[in-house]
Amino acid sequence: YRLTYYTPDYQVKDTDILAAFRCNPQPGVPPEECGAAVAAESSTGTWTTVWTD
């Protein structure tokens, strides 16, 4: 995920929506990789519970 979602030089635009997440990587996992994995999950919506009634 790091190569796809981690862009440290990105310049925030007025039209962007900013969100904060807490990420606690497991030992040996770089913080950037943990953050990139969160970005990947939040962009695809896989954390959203979907159901039908």
Q: Is 35 among the domain residues? A: yes
Q: Is 49 among the domain residues? A: no
pLDDT band of residue 5 (cuts 50, 70, 90) is low
Residue-number span of the structural domain to which 30 is assigned? 2-9+17-44
For residues 41 and 1, what is the distance between their CA atoms, to the nearest angstrom? 10
Q: Is 52 among the domain residues? A: no
Predicted local confidence at residue 34, as pLDDT: 86
Closest CA to 3 of 48, 41, 40: 40
Q: Is 26 among the domain residues? A: yes
Please count the structural domains in the chain: 1
pLDDT for 17-40, tens place per residue?
888 888 899 999 998 888 888 877
Model confidence, pTM: 0.49
